[in-house]
């Protein structure tokens, strides 16, 4: 192969025009052989030209694209693209950066020679159209006429969807060498960008598993335990916070080129679905893009259908609502993000595939549906994908000026947003009690190229007269009882004015909506309402970032805010941090629930710290319950850690009398299994960003470890689906041992930060469950999130708690309101009365001592009178019914009927082992902040975070997910508090007792 390649390299010293191009008969024959049906191909891709200058893919790879049973690693794919660039003046390759594990992502640019020589000029044109401030209409039109549309197609963000990286190599070659009117039009009138592999780490691991299975058909096939370094399929849900390297690289590259169209290639459903989606579409986007999606999709559907291709359709898949997909690098920046789903085989097998009736039914949007049964090959997939992309390229190249004009209009209308539909701006007040997480949130927006300014002086503006995390309004005081004002606010008359004037201090952050990316800022910060009448959503329905970050964001409609003197930030926000005050004996940090406090604590692992069990005041500083107290430390040490983490520390010599206990930097383990690591991946992302050390430990390792308590203080079990049985069983103990290690056959399985094992079979097993129980019993803290609550609950470590699959609840990824019920618990330190949390149809936690809930019927019996006018039993004097006691949710949960104490006392745990509800979901009417919510009564007033003592230790259960996609920084500190106070979680536990069934508890 190498020899052949060298020969080609020598020959092609001559210019391209002198190259000979003819049909590559052998390659063409191989394509036709690998294509199972002519209706899975078109005249665009059923052959390949041979060029005397540029080596075809088979020359370099040793196989044609779409050959059965073979896939290529990233190094081969990138290597081939660079061969093209070296041998064709129509091709250039740029590096986009690297993945977490160091694999390169590349951008291949293809156009005619003249265009390729002036790429910078074309990039400057799209950049200017992207920010049309100060650009006259005639100047814009002139740029549109000179410009060329840029079409960026990218492969395999999803590692198991493995055909597109192969296809893109052939497409690149074809675009570089083929001479047809269609290809000429594309090369001349557009700039093609290709990224063959988005998820480079996952690509190599998937190819390892696939090729291993090909070489060892007798062995149990490996699961793709890790795709990327952190997450699997969710690498296409990182479009909001850009936490993964691939998202950062893609967004940076987009902003460098302003591609007119970005086109993701996915492989899941038959045979070729072209994105438009069912709606509801994201409501913050310019409606122009909706038309563009349809125009592009219908052109390709029509052109492929006319060529006799079967099963090409649009509309009936995916919604278009959430802004978290990778294509939002384009969509969120006024360009067009779109995608394909072709039929994939998880590899390159040729297989008979049988479809479900739901895939083959004829619908208005699928007049030419897929067939019930076909023989399907990798080459079929390549043919469909490549034909579609070529048609898409041709369409955009043929209407380049229209698409560039649309792009200009969308950019211009985004700048006009402040004064047309509004808001004028979003404001984040400078006096937010949690400046660290405020900065984290703002830095997410900055990484999205959203412009942020700071007010040079204090100002006031009209804001909506409602209290909401998302749209501002007067904030309730944090902590303590409700103030008299807040009470009167609830009772305010209906004619309250719609707006009120709010004052903002100097230094407040202003996100002007007269900027090009105003729509992205608005969609991320606003509240979302997803109607129950709409089609089932495809992903999260709510994401309000301010609410999830527990940071105040104010939606200001008043355009006078645009005239406030302000200074635009030029880079990311870093908080200085440091020590204030001249004291020498004691250092204090107010616990405001800011994530950076945990960074600080773990930075100084060996420095003893304490935490206050009550609020207190020192030297005029008011400190919340849970504030950090550090005595006898070196000022220099504290100062360095404070600067490093951006935390403000007060030094004092005052003598403190507040009750306190030690604040630990515990040894943390994060549990994973060997089948799916995605959920723990998001925990790893956040813990590593905040530099909180942990040990990544496998279920199989837990099974083999007798004394977990000797190794760890806290074990976190992120959501693991499948229930207790599946956790215990893991990968069944069948066949031969399955080592997870790097070998010559599987060189990409392991990377630092991942895990390895001699055998990944066997799950937790009963001995693993016993090890975990012993761990808690001996004083450890087990934190279980979402579905993983089944492990301690159904594994018998908790009393009086059960899990229930809600029957009516529809809550697919929402932002919900929760109340902090037990402010004395260390888990709630630093929090106020309420918190907005992320929840998505996890099991609902139920607490009951087993005597019924003591719930009273909310409706009366049928009878005389009205709902409130009491019934009268006939034939006897009227007696008022018993005053049915009205019980709080907690009282109902701990209810014991009087008579049951005689026969059922064994069921009642001692008071110090009763479940303690720290956080509780709000009442039905107040529960929803953002998203789709139906059947709210299934969840309303149910526990969200529960602490249950067990032996010397504790189990803490989360129904909400406190570490969801790096978006929920407002909830992180619930976890951190639990960890740092793991030895003192009983602090503040009130005299809680089971609730007697007699009427004495009536309120």
Chain residues in the site for Zn ion (CB under 5 A): 158, 161, 266
Cα–Cα distance, 789 to 942 (Å, whole number): 15
Q: Closer to Zn ion at the Cβ: 318 or 616?
A: 318
Cβ at position 315, least distance to Zn ion in Å: 18
Of 462, 427, 348, give the one whose Cα is nearest residue 64. Answer: 348
Of the pair 266, 315, the CB lying nearest Zn ion is at: 266
Please report how close the Cβ of residue 263 comes to Zn ion at its closest, in angstroms.
Answer: 13
**Which CB, 48 or 157, lies closer to Zn ion?**
157
Q: Supply the minimum distance, in Å, between the C-beta of residue 330 and Zn ion.
A: 17
**Residue 847: which H helix or E strand, with range?**
strand 844-847
Toward Zn ion, which CB reaches closer, 344 or 423? 344
Which strand ranges, in their side-by-side order, compose the sheet holding 566-568? 554-556, 425-428, 509-512, 453-455, 566-568
When the beta carbons of 309 and 327 are compared against Zn ion, the nearer one is 327
Nearer to Zn ion among residue 234 and residue 380 (C-beta):
234
Q: Supply the minimum distance, in Å, between the C-beta of residue 245 and Zn ion.
A: 18
Under 8 Å between Cβ of 983 and 864: no
Q: Half-sphere exposure of residue 544, counting CA atoms within 13 Å on the CB side?
A: 32
Contact 429, 438 (CB under 8 A): no
CA distance 140 to 729: 63
Distance CA 519, CA 970 (A): 24
- Kindly tell me which of 666 and 813 has the beta carbon lying closer to Zn ion: 813
User: How near is the Cβ of 199 to Zn ion at its closest, in Å?
Assistant: 10
Give the length of the chain.
1003
Residue with tokens 């992120």: 718
- Report whether 63 contacts 77 (CB < 8 A): no
In terms of phi and psi (left: phi > 0; alpha: psi -120 to 50; beta: otherwise), the region of 444 is: alpha
Rg (CA), the chain: 31
Place of tokens 């604040």: 663
The distance of closest approach from Cβ of residue 386 to Zn ion in the complex, given in angstroms and rounded to an integer, is 17
Q: Which is nearer to Zn ion, 161 or 292 (CB)?
A: 161
* Residue with the shortest CB distance to Zn ion: 266
Task: Give the shortest CB-385-to-Zn ion separation in angstroms.
Answer: 13
Least separation in angstroms between residue 61's CB and Zn ion is: 24
Task: State whether the Cα torsion 113-114-115-119 is positive or negative.
Answer: positive
Shortest Å, Cβ 646 to Zn ion: 37
User: 266 or 834: whose CB is closer to Zn ion?
Assistant: 266
Report the nearest approach of Zn ion to the CB of residue 46 (Å): 26
Residue 165 beta carbon to Zn ion: minimum distance, rounded to whole angstroms: 13
Return the structure tokens found at 451: 């412009």
User: Angle between the 400-416 and 518-525 helix axes, to the nearest 10 degrees?
Assistant: 60
What one-character-per-residue DSSP string does 955-983 give? EEEESS-SSSTT--HHHHHHHHHHHHTTT
* Closest distance of CB 312 from Zn ion, Å: 18
Least distance to Zn ion, CB of residue 317, Å: 11
Structure tokens at 39: 């209706």
The residue (of 251 and 275) whose beta carbon lies closer to Zn ion is: 275
Give me the phi and psi of 116, to 5 degrees please. Answer: -60, -35
Can you tell me whether residue 680 is helix, strand or coil?
A: helix
Torsion of CA 683, 684, 685, 689, to 10 degrees: 110
DSSP state of 931: B
The closest of 326, 845, 324, 333 to 542, measured between CA atoms, is 324
d(CA 609, CA 505): 34
By C-beta, is 266 or 379 nearer to Zn ion? 266
Nearer to Zn ion, 232 or 826 (CB): 232
d(C-alpha 581, C-alpha 649), whole Å: 9
What's the per-residue H, E or C state across 110-136? ECCHHHHHCHHHHHHHHHHHHCCCCCC
- Exposed/middle/buried for 674, CB within 10 Å: 0-12, 13-18, 19+? buried
Nearer of residues 341 and 699 to Zn ion, judged by Cβ: 341
Q: Which of residues 413 and 965 has its CB atom nearest to Zn ion in the complex?
A: 965
Cis bond leading into 423, ω under 30°? Answer: yes
Residue 405, phi then psi, degrees to nearest 5: -65, -45
Cα separation, 630 vs 739, in Å, equals 46
Residue 264 or residue 755: which is nearer to Zn ion going by CB? 264
CB of 268 to Zn ion, least distance (A): 6
Q: Show Cβ contacts of residue 912 under 8 Å, excluding neighbours closer than 6 positions.
A: 949, 986, 989
Cβ of residue 266: shortest distance to Zn ion, in angstroms? 3
Q: Please report, for the chain, how many H helices and E strands are present, in that order.
A: 32, 41
């Amino acid at each position: 192969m190498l020899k052949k390649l060298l020969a080609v390299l020598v020959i092609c010293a001559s210019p391209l025009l002198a190259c000979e191009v003819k049909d590559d008969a052998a390659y063409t024959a191989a394509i036709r052989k690998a294509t199972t049906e002519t209706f899975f191909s078109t005249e665009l891709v059923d052959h390949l030209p041979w060029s005397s200058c540029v080596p075809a893919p088979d020359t370099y790879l040793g196989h044609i694209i779409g050959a059965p049973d073979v896939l290529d690693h990233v190094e081969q794919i990138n290597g081939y693209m660079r061969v093209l660039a070296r041998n064709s003046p129509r091709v250039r390759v740029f590096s986009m950066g690297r993945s977490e594990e160091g694999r390169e992502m590349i951008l291949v640019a293809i156009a005619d020679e003249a265009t390729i020589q002036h790429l910078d000029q074309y990039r400057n044109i799209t950049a200017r159209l992207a920010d049309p401030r100060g650009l006259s209409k005639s100047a814009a039109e002139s740029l549109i006429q000179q410009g060329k549309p840029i079409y960026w197609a990218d492969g395999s963000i999803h590692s198991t969807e493995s055909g597109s990286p192969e296809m893109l190599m052939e497409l690149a070659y074809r675009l570089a060498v083929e001479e047809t009117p269609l290809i000429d039009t594309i090369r001349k009138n557009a700039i093609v960008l290709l990224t063959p592999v988005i998820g480079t780490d996952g690509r190599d691991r998937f190819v390892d598993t696939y090729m291993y299975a090909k070489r060892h058909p007798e062995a149990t096939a490996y699961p793709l335990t890790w795709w990327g370094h952190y997450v699997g399929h969710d690498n296409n849900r990182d479009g909001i916070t850009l936490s993964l390297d691939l998202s950062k690289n893609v967004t940076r590259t987009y902003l460098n080129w302003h591609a007119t169209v970005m086109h993701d290639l996915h492989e899941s459903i038959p045979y070729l679905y072209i994105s438009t989606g069912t709606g509801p579409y994201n409501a913050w986007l310019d409606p122009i893009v909706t038309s563009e999606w349809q125009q592009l999709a219908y052109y390709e559907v029509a052109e492929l259908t006319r060529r006799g291709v079967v099963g090409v359709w649009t509309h009936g898949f995916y919604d278009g609502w959430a802004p978290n997909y990778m294509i939002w690098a384009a969509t969120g920046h006024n360009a067009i993000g779109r995608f394909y789903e072709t039929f994939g085989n998880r590899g390159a097998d040729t297989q008979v595939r049988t479809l479900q009736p739901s895939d083959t039914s004829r619908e208005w949007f699928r007049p030419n549906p897929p067939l019930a049964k076909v023989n399907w090959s990798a080459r079929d997939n390549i043919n469909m994908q490549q034909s579609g992309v070529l048609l898409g390229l041709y369409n955009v190249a043929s209407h380049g000026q229209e698409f560039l004009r649309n792009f200009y209009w969308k950019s211009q209308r985004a700048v006009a947003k402040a004064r047309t539909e509004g808001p004028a701006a979003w404001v984040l007040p400078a006096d937010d009690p949690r400046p660290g997480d405020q900065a984290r949130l703002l830095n997410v927006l900055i990484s999205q190229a959203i412009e942020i300014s700071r007010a040079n002086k204090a100002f006031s503006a009209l804001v909506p007269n409602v209290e909401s995390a998302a749209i501002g309004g007067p904030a309730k005081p944090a902590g303590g009882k409700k103030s008299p004002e807040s009470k009167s606010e609830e009772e305010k008359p209906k004619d309250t004015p719609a707006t009120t004037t709010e004052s903002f201090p100097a230094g407040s952050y202003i996100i002007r909506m007269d900027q090009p990316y105003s729509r992205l800022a608005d969609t991320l910060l606003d509240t979302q309402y997803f109607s129950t009448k709409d089609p089932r959503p495809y992903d999260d329905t709510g994401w309000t970032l301010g609410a999830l970050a527990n940071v105040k964001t104010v939606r200001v409609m008043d355009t006078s805010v645009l005239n406030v003197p302000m200074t635009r930030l030029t880079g990311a926000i870093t908080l200085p941090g440091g020590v204030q005050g001249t004291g020498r004996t004691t250092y204090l940090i107010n616990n405001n629930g800011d994530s950076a406090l945990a960074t600080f604590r773990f930075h100084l692992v060996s420095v003893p710290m304490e935490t206050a069990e009550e609020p207190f005041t020192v030297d005029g500083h008011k400190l919340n319950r849970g504030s950090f107290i550090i005595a006898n430390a070196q000022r220099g040490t504290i100062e360095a850690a404070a600067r490093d983490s951006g935390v403000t520390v007060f030094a004092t010599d005052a003598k403190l009398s507040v009750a306190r206990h030690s604040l630990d930097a515990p040894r943390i383990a994060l549990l994973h299994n060997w089948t799916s690591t995605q959920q723990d991946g998001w925990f790893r992302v956040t813990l590593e960003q905040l530099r909180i050390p942990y040990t990544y430990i496998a279920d199989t390792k837990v099974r083999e470890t007798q004394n977990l308590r000797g190794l760890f203080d806290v074990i976190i079990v992120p959501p693991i689906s499948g229930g207790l049985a599946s956790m215990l069983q893991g990968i069944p103990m069948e066949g031969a041992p399955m080592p997870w290690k790097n070998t010559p056959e599987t060189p990409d399985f392991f990377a630092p930060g991942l895990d390895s094992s001699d055998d990944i079979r066997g799950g937790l097993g009963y001995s693993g469950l016993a090890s975990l129980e012993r761990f808690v019993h001996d004083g450890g803290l087990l934190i279980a999130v979402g579905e993983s609550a089944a492990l301690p609950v159904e594994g018998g470590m908790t009393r009086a708690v059960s899990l229930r699959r809600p029957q009516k609840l529809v809550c697919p990824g929402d932002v919900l309101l929760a109340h902090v019920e037990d402010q004395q618990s260390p888990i709630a330190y630093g929090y106020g009365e309420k918190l907005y949390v992320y929840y998505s149809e996890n099991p609902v936690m139920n607490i009951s001592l087993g005597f019924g809930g003591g719930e009273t019927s909310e409706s009366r019996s049928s009878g005389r009178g009205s709902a409130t006018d009491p019934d009268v039993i006939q034939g006897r004097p009227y007696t008022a019914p018993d005053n049915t006691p009205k019980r709080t949710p907690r009282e109902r949960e701990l209810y014991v009927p009087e008579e049951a104490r005689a026969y059922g006392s064994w069921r009642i745990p001692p008071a110090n082992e009763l479940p303690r509800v720290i956080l509780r979901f709000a009442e039905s009417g107040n529960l929803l902040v953002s998203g789709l919510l139906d059947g709210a009564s299934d969840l309303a007033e149910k526990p969200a975070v529960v602490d249950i003592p067990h032996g010397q230790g504790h189990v803490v259960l989360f129904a909400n997910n406190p570490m969801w996609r790096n978006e929920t920084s407002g909830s992180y500190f619930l976890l951190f508090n639990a960890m740092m106070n793991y030895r003192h979680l009983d602090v503040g536990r009130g005299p809680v007792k089971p609730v007697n069934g007699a009427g004495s508890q009536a309120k």
